[in-house]
Each structure stands twice: as structure tokens, then as C-alpha cells.
């Protein structure tokens, strides 16, 4: 946080402290420049223009909070400035600059600059994260800020607030923007996390594994003990199934890595139920309640609903540390107790109003992670289980992540237009507002990027016992994914360690089956071909040969009989002639 204090001295007869906004027009052009190692250099170019003829500024005082400025220097038109540095407390430093030059007279301008090194950008995993303070002083007439980053940082994953303009790694922000909140930004194309999840199950059960979504790709190193099978539910969850005996208990440990993406994959084939299912009321999403219905009539868009929820609810930090953990309130209770909300209430209220407004919505349970206190909710741990909503964007045809909770707790950071790299999905709740459950224990941390080479799929054809020409025969194609990652070239996504069966119907056009033939299944954009084995034709060929042989025997017998009758007739005729 920056606070500017300007002391003005009477130019002729007396000393006076004057309000700078009344006597001077103050203008700031500030450059925040980061190098390839993340070190920051802040350059403030400041000008004070006299509005009257009687006053001048002999010094300038600047209060810096949270930056711990180093290598401080300044200069005006005549040379370097004398600067006093006084620590105010553990987080605040006061700088006093003494001017070399005196500018007296109406419309005369004193220009000077201040330079120092501030808080560095944080290199977390694959991402550079940084935060810049907001303007706390109100008597500034004009303020412009340029954020300058090296090309090696990569593309901006998110910038909040959005810059008014950008050009070649320079992003510009205005006074109006920075008076509301500081700048938070991340650069990079994706972030890599490692995870270790622990579950306890009893009897025949399933657990929800972190799934692939449009925002993340997940890779599993191990699932111990391994599941009997893995399937995808209508919400897109990956369910690992265990056929334990009744009363038998097992601890499941799941480890792996996830890459969280800067931009959602619009090509991701989102598994989901019918969109109308995401409009229905539930126990916690009371979309049919009159109070919710009235709000939905006024708040018709996701943005309007998001803004309302952020404005009306207050985060109750005492509930986060409560023991036992707090019970979930739901949307109506959140409206009745707006000062006692945590992430579930922010999420539930948004979903209920949105569903009542005809906007398909669902809940994400996952992990919120960051090392930078400026990028996470004030007062919360660096890594917490978290809930946030998604709404369906009909134009882009994707589920869009938003986070009204963090918008509230970070003091106005925009989590509607762009979510960050810190939201790792564990479980999707859409058809149900509480199932499947999320893992009770989770450890997540940044990790270097790792390649996961894919092993070939295990395939097996299940052909019919035999083929008959011109009659349809059904083939089954069994596919097993031995990888700890999903594959997507099939008609349906095949989750890690999952299985599927594809079916096709084949009609042989060859009567004798003497030429090689093949059956083909369309698997996404790939043709899966099975070469017809000769043995499948053998029963038909034996039958056909038997039929031909039988026909030949009949013909031979018939021919023999006919010849015998003919010979007998000739003998009879010969006897009469004698």
C-alpha cells in the first residue's frame, strides 16, 4: 500500500502545511518493471504543478507498506535528491525526499522521480505471480501505472483488474482502477501440482478421483489398492469402484499430478447430463423458493447474480476454524444469515438464484492453493478445501468457473471474468448437491512439469462363433486403459484404468470367404479394424461343403438310378425284338 504525504511551505513569509490537492495538481506515472528473475524495480515519475503563486514544495514524503524498499534513489532536474528512510513498523517504511530546486509561480511544474526495488514476483511451479498495491491516497489528480514484465514470463493467465491497454509485455492501469483494488496477475500457460489424497471406505463403495475438466488435466502415479474399475458419472466425475465385503474397511491412497490451464479447452468433450437437470431445486439449492424466485426475476445474468452474492454476503472467518466443522447452511439460510457465510454459502446462493433464472449451474469442490498472501483470502491458510460455482456458457458451450467467495475475501479481485491457477477440482456436484463426497484428507503442492508417456491400450476382440454370408454378425471390442491418464479418441472418454466395450455389426459379402475381410469400428476420429479370422468362416464352409457334397451325392445317386432304369428299359426292348 502506498500513501503519499506532501508538505508545502509558504514561499515568502511563513511556513504552512497545505492540502496538495488544493494548491497543486499532482500527476504520477509509475512503472513497475520485473526482470527475468522476478526482481522488481519501481520508478515513480511525479510532477507537482502550482495552482497558485504563493506556495512551493520543499520536500515529498512517501509511506510504503508491504514492499520493504531497497536501493532507493531519486532525482529532480538538478540532480540526485537527499532521501531519509525511516522504518515506521515491521511492514511500513517512510521516505522523505528533499528537493534541490524550488518552483514558484502559477502553472509552474516541479518534476522528480523516485526509484527503488520492491517485492519480487513469485515463481510458483510453472507460473509467475505478482501483486501491486492499490492507491490509498485520495488527493491525487492523475495516476497511471505501467506493469512491465519480461517475455520469459509468458502470456498473462489472468490480470485483475483488466488493463485498459497492453503492448509488448506492458500493461496499463488507471487511477480509477487502482483506487478500488491493487493489481494481481499471473503469467504462464499452465500450473503443475502434485497431490496425495486419502480416503477410507467400508463395504462395496466408490471414491471420486480428481477428473479432467476443461481447466485441468490429471495424471495418476498410483491408486493403492487399485480399484476394480473406473467409470465416468453423468457429471463427469471419475468414480473408482471397490467391491469390498460387507463391513470390510480399506484406506485408499491416491497420488499424482495435475496441470491447471490458463485458458479452458473449448474442445474438451464435457461429460454431463441433460442441461435441464442443472436447473432443478435441491436441498441446498432451493431454486423453487419464493424468495429465490423474486431475486431471479431481478438478477437475470451470471454477472448480476455474482455481484449480488458478493455484495450481500460476508465471510465468517470464525466458522472456518470451528471444531467440529460447521454445518452447511444452504441458499435460503445464507440469505437469512448473510454475515455468517463461508464458501459453501456463497456457492449455494449463486447456484440457487442462477437455476431459478434458467441458468444451468453446478458446484465444484476442490483445493484452493497459493503461497502469496496477496492472492488468497485474507486470514485463510495457504491451502484449503474450497467450493465454488460453475455456470454453463451457451455461446462457448463450456462450464465457466467463478469464485464469489474469493472476490469478497480478497477485497474486490475479479474472479468472474478470469479464474486463477489456484482452483484444483476434486469433485463435481450437479445432479446432487452433495454427492459424491470429496476426499477427507488432501496434500497439494507445486511441482515441476513431468511428462507422462502413454502406454498402448489393451484391446481384445470378442467375435461371434462363426459367420454366415449376407447375415449380420455382432462383434464386441474390449478396450482397457492401463494409463494413469484419460484417453479421448474413443466415442466416450476412457478414464485412467478404465474399461469400455464397443460393438459393431459386420455383414460378409463373400459366399465362400476366400478373400481377406475386416470389421471396422469408428472410435472418435479413429477407425479400429479387426481382421476377420479364417476360422470364423470354417463352420459355414464346412456346412457349405457338406451341402455341396450332399447335393453331389444326390445327383450321383439320381444319375445312377436314371442310368440303371435306362439300361433296364433297353434290355426289355432288346428282349421283345428277339
Pairing of strands 109-117, 40-50: antiparallel
Decide if 194 contacts 367 (C-beta within 8 A): no
Distance CA 531, CA 534 (A): 9
Q: E strands, 279-376, where? A: 361-369
* Cell of residue 96, nine digits: 522523505
Q: Can you give the pLDDT of all 578 residues of the chain as single tens digits? A: 444 444 333 332 222 233 444 688 889 999 999 999 999 999 999 998 888 887 777 888 888 877 789 999 999 989 999 999 998 887 788 889 999 987 788 888 989 999 999 989 988 888 898 988 877 666 788 999 999 999 999 888 888 888 999 998 999 999 988 887 788 888 988 899 999 999 999 999 999 999 999 999 999 999 999 999 999 999 999 999 999 999 899 999 999 999 998 888 877 877 677 899 999 999 999 999 999 999 999 999 999 999 999 999 999 988 877 777 788 999 999 999 999 999 999 999 999 999 999 999 999 999 987 665 544 555 555 567 899 999 999 998 899 999 999 889 887 788 998 888 889 999 999 999 999 998 888 999 888 888 898 888 888 888 888 778 888 888 888 889 999 999 886 566 789 999 888 888 878 777 766 666 777 766 555 567 777 777 777 787 788 788 888 888 888 888 888 777 766 666 666 655 55
Q: What is the pTM of this model?
A: 0.77
Distance CA 526, CA 366 (A): 34
Closest CA to 196 of 343, 320, 367: 367
Distance CA 513, CA 528 (A): 21
Chain centroid to CA 459: 32
Q: In a 10 Å sphere around its CB, with 0-12 CB exposed, 13-18 middle and 19+ buried, how is residue 516 labelled?
A: exposed
Closest CA to 46 of 93, 17, 5: 5
DSSP assignment string, 147-171: EE--GGG-SEEEEESPPSEEETTEE
Closest CA to 522 of 558, 553, 491, 562: 491
Amino acid at each position: 500500500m502506498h500513501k503519499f504525504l506532501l508538505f508545502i511551505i509558504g514561499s515568502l513569509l511563513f511556513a504552512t502545511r497545505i492540502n496538495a490537492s488544493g494548491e497543486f495538481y499532482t500527476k504520477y506515472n509509475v512503472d513497475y518493471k520485473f526482470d527475468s528473475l522476478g526482481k522488481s524495480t519501481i520508478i515513480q515519475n511525479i510532477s507537482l504543478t502550482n495552482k497558485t503563486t504563493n506556495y512551493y514544495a520543499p520536500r515529498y514524503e512517501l509511506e510504503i507498506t508491504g514492499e520493504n524498499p531497497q536501493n532507493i534513489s531519486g532525482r529532480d532536474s538538478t540532480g540526485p535528491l537527499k532521501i531519509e528512510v525511516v522504518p515506521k513498523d515491521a511492514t511500513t517504511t517512510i521516505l522523505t525526499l528533499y528537493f534541490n530546486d524550488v518552483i514558484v509561480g502559477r502553472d509552474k511544474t516541479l518534476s522528480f522521480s523516485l526509484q527503488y526495488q520492491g517485492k519480487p514476483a513469485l515463481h510458483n511451479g510453472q507460473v509467475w505471480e505478482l501483486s501491486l498495491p492499490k492507491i490509498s491516497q485520495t488527493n491525487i489528480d492523475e495516476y497511471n501505472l505501467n506493469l512491465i514484465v519480461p517475455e520469459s514470463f509468458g502470456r498473462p493467465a489472468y490480470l485483475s483488474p483488466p488493463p485498459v491497454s497492453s503492448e509488448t509485455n506492458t500493461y496499463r492501469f488507471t487511477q480509477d482502477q487502482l483506487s478500488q483494488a491493487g493489481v494481481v496477475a499471473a503469467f504462464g500457460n499452465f500450473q503443475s501440482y502434485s497431490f496425495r489424497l486419502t480416503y477410507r471406505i467400508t463395504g462395496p463403495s466408490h471414491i471420486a478421483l480428481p477428473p479432467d475438466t476443461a481447466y485441468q488435466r490429471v495424471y495418476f502415479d498410483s491408486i493403492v489398492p487399485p480399484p476394480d474399475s473406473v467409470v465416468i458419472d453423468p457429471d463427469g466425475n471419475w468414480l473408482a469402484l471397490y467391491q469390498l465385503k460387507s463391513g470390510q474397511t480399506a484406506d485408499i491412497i491416491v497420488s499424482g499430478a495435475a496441470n491447471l490451464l490458463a485458458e479452458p479447452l473449448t474442445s474438451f468433450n464435457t461429460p454431463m447430463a441433460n442441461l435441464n437437470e442443472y436447473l432443478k431445486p435441491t436441498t441446498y439449492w432451493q431454486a423453487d423458493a419464493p424468495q429465490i424466485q423474486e431475486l431471479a426475476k431481478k438478477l437475470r445474468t451470471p454477472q448480476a447474480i455474482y455481484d449480488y452474492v458478493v455484495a450481500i454476503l460476508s465471510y465468517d472467518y470464525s466458522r472456518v476454524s470451528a471444531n467440529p466443522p460447521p454445518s452447511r447452511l444452504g441458499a435460503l439460510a445464507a440469505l437469512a444469515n448473510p454475515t455468517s457465510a463461508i464458501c459453501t454459502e456463497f456457492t449455494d446462493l449463486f447456484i440457487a438464484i442462477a437455476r431459478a433464472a434458467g441458468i444451468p449451474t453446478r458446484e465444484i469442490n476442490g483445493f484452493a492453493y497459493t503461497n502469496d498472501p496477496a492472492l488468497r483470502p485474507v486470514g485463510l491458510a495457504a491451502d484449503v478445501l474450497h467450493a465454488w460455482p460453475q455456470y454453463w456458457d451457451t455461446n462457448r458451450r463450456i462450464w465457466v468457473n467463478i469464485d464469489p467467495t474469493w472476490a469478497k475475501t480478497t477485497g474486490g479481485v475479479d474472479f468472474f471474468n478470469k479464474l486463477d491457477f489456484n482452483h484444483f477440482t476434486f469433485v463435481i456436484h450437479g445432479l446432487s448437491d452433495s454427492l459424491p463426497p470429496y476426499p477427507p484428507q488432501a496434500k497439494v503442492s507445486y511441482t515441476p512439469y513431468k511428462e507422462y508417456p502413454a502406454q498402448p491400450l489393451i484391446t481384445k476382440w470378442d467375435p461371434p462363433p462363426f459367420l454366415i454370408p449376407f447375415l449380420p454378425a455382432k462383434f464386441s471390442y474390449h478396450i482397457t486403459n492401463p494409463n494413469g491418464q484419460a484417453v479421448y479418441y474413443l466415442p466416450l472418454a476412457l478414464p485412467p484404468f478404465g474399461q469400455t466395450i464397443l460393438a459393431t455389426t459386420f455383414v460378409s459379402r463373400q459366399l465362400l470367404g476366400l478373400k481377406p475381410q475386416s470389421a471396422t469400428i469408428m472410435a472418435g476420429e479413429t477407425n479400429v479394424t479387426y481382421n476377420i479370422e479364417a476360422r470364423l468362416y470354417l463352420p459355414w464352409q464346412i456346412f457349405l461343403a457338406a451341402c455341396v457334397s450332399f447335393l453331389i451325392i444326390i445327383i450321383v445317386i439320381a444319375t445312377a438310378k436314371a442310368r440303371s432304369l435306362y439300361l433296364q428299359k433297353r434290355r426289355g426292348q432288346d428282349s421283345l425284338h428277339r
